[in-house]
Chain A
Amino acid sequence: MVEELTVGETNGRANAALLAETPAQDGRPGAVYRSAGDRFLLAEFGPMELDLTLNFRVLGLNQALKDAGIAGVIETIPALRSILIHYDSTVLEPSDLIAAVDRFYAALPPVEDLIIPSREISLPLAVNDQWTRADIAKYVQFIRKDAPNIRDGNNIDYAAEYNGLRDAEEFVDYLMATPWWNAANGFFPGLPFMFPLDPRYAVVIPKYNPTRPWTPEGAVGIAGPCLAIYPVPSPGGYQLIGRTIPIYDAQQRNPAFAENPILMKPGDRVSFTRVTDDELIALREQVYDGSYTYQIGDGSLNVGAYLARLEEIKPETEAFKRRQGEAAERTPVP
């Protein structure tokens, strides 16, 4: 049941933004509903932790809300553990919207019963490539000379040390060993926020400080536990690992973009295949001339089977977390 708190009040209340909350129940994490202005409602689920099962619930609920077509709801924006709901408050009362969302949340099947449509996408990755190295060199020249996250003109040696891995090669092996789950698109058009599905390889790296004014289109970066691909040249704070092929094409020239200029969807699983710089140049040429076929297969994620697998590998996951934690403590932060 939703406990309504302060809808419609302003001064003199206990909490400025909290509109309602539903306690955790029957294994279902609690839900919190927050005001995000008069046209948006932020629905948050569970604690502020990195837990992909929260994202599985979010994507399930997001689909249910889309299918329901609630009058007055303009669109929904899922993220890792939340959904931002864009609505017209002149026709839909926030309390009615909260009640509807909470009803759909309560009606979601247990997370282990969810089967989430999830495409498998394979992308080439040129590791420590010439284009990201050029922007890192500019950063050293113009922004920060003594950045601890840059060694020999790259971020990967630092990333390896921060995670307690032997060397850059082992770090790249880790990145290749897990599929990456796209939890949300956002910030720039089509930028995926991806998380490792196999926690035995869940690397973590701090962000740039200060941020980097330049990043090549197609750059692959990691910050915190999140891996992003830059759809357009832009500033960025993620540690750069390599470069892949375009994932956004505003002019929709390659057939992969015919229906949508954006390649990635939430719920996609991405795996990387290592290529050389020269191979990446050739692949990019194929994308540009329209002859490249993006490697995309249909599929789904069986959450129950996935959670069972997590249990099996738990000792290895814990072992890596310990190794990683010890290394992080002795490694400087940018």
Chain B
Amino acid sequence: MIEVLEGGIQTTVQDFPGRQGLLDQGICPAGPFDNLAFRLANLLVGNEPGTAGLEITAGNFQARFDRNAVIALTGANMQPKLDGEPIALWRSYRVASGQTLVLGSVAGPGFRSYLAVSGGIDVPAYLGSRATYVPGAIGGYEGRALKKGDQLPVGVVTGYLDDLAGRRVKDAVTPSYTAEWELEAVPGPQAAPDYWTWDDYEHFFSHDWKLDRNSNRMGYRLEPHSWQWARTTGGVAGGHPSNILDNGYAVGAVNISGDQPIILCVDGPTLGGFVCAAGVAYGSMWKLGQMVPGRDRIRFKELSIADAAELARATEALIDEANLERV
């Protein structure tokens, strides 16, 4: 059991890839916003990469362990301390029953930290996943963010703790974060020249977009822009050229609602009536989880589907025991 002493801004149980195969029912995948840091944390403690762990947003989380375990923290640096002693990120540690983990505020770039525990967080699966989807109040721990007093069950450990502890992610593989992100994206379905002009298209891929503070796991709002549009109306779908007859939305789609671009994230809507001009490359979806709303900027880099598939393979290749080393 792990007892939550302080829930922080928003800490949720997540697993990867979350709820799959339910988009046609209006259910988003949820899952870790930064799936790369999440999976590396699991690898460090000897879990399957998708095993349920904690996503800690913006810091100030505290918990006490009532069993011996191995833990690893990855992602943003929340200045973690175990019983008052600073511990490193991207590294596995033994914790003894009774020890307390304290996370402070985020130091440096990045926004989310991931805590993996050997054996995983053993909450019941809901529709095939333990991922928390807060807006729908499903999954994770009672369908909500964690708060003080919650008791998290831990699963069965299948390895020797001393073998699992004392490992770290190799430097060459450890992701680096920034406040100025390059975000790979693939066109369409409603892009130039049918919906946008080529000028609109080029503006999108050349502008530094500020991430609005009103952004979350559902959607990342970028600053509004007066698009030229390649058509004057949405016809039967509505008066505005950004209106279309509702269609499915891709996870990671860049949705243009009137003037406003919104990146539809892991908790986003699954279907709707606004154009989607681009889609974040799957192999770069993890970057969204480390962006700081109200501060960070995004420059989109256009990729073909083939190049994005190559990027996805490269990202997947990082999730490998060979990328760990003993301290």
Contacts and interface: CB of A to CB of B under 8 A. Distances in A.
Contacts of A39: 250-252, 279, 282, 312
B155 interface: no
A30 interface: no
Contact of A79 (B143, B247, B269): B247
B137 interface: yes
Contact of B279 (A38, A80, A185, A191): A38
Interface in A39-87: 39-40, 42, 44, 48-50, 74-84, 86
Interface stretch (B7-15, B39-47, B97-105, B182-190): B182-190
B138 interface: yes
A67 B127 CA distance: 21
Task: Give the residue among B127, B189, B238, B312 with the most A Cβ atoms within 10 A.
Answer: B189
A266 B283 CA distance: 32
Interface in B280-308: 280-283, 302-308
Given A37-B282, A89-B309, A16 B191 contact: yes
Interface in A73-126: 74-84, 86, 89-90, 94
Contact of A224 (B190, B238, B305): B238
Nearest to B269: A187
A186 B246 contact: yes
Interface string A10-35: 11001111100000000000000011
Contacts of B244: 48
B192 interface: yes
Given A48-B245, A188-B136, A75 B194 contact: no
A10 B303 CA distance: 7
B26 interface: yes
Interface bin, chain B: 35 or more
Nearest to A204: B236
A262 B305 contact: no
A147 interface: no
A40 B279 contact: yes
Interface stretch (B16-24, B61-69, B81-89): B16-24
Nearest to A54: B245
A201 B22 CA distance: 32
B26 A186 contact: yes
A38 B239 CA distance: 30
A266 B270 CA distance: 15
A93 B84 CA distance: 52
Given A9-B304, A36-B250, A89 B237 contact: no
A174 to B, nearest CB: 20
Interface residues of A, number: 57
B271 A38 contact: no
A158 interface: no
A36 B308 contact: no
A74 B309 CA distance: 15
B248 A250 contact: no
B253 A36 contact: yes
B23 to A, nearest CB: 5
Contacts of B207: none
Contacts of A9: 304
B16 to A, nearest CB: 14
A74 B247 contact: no
A190 interface: yes
Contact of B201 (A16, A80, A260): A16
Contact of B26 (A35, A42, A262): A262
A168 interface: no
B195 to A, nearest CB: 8
A288 B39 CA distance: 40
B137 A250 contact: yes
B186 A35 contact: yes
Contacts of A37: 185-186, 188, 250, 252-253, 278-282, 308
A18 to B, nearest CB: 7
Interface in B184-242: 185-194, 201, 235-239
B237 A18 contact: no
Contacts of B271: 77, 79, 184-187, 193
A35 B269 contact: no
Interface in B246-284: 246-253, 269-272, 276, 278-283
B18 to A, nearest CB: 12
A8 B306 contact: yes
Interface of B: 20-27, 126-127, 135-138, 143, 185-194, 201, 235-239, 244-253, 269-272, 276, 278-283, 302-309, 312-313, 316
6 contacts: A14-B193, A74-B20, A184-B246, A185-B24, A190-B25, A232-B135
The 9 closest A-B pairs by CB, nearest first: A37-B279, A17-B188, A186-B271, A84-B248, A38-B308, A77-B248, A34-B189, A40-B250, A16-B187
Given A35-B189, A74-B20, A193-B246, 15 more contacts: A15-B193, A16-B188, A16-B193, A17-B189, A35-B279, A37-B278, A38-B303, A38-B309, A39-B282, A40-B250, A42-B189, A81-B247, A84-B248, A190-B26, A190-B27
Interface of A: 7-11, 14-18, 34-40, 42, 44, 48-50, 74-84, 86, 89-90, 94, 184-191, 193, 207, 224, 226, 231-232, 250, 260-262, 266, 333
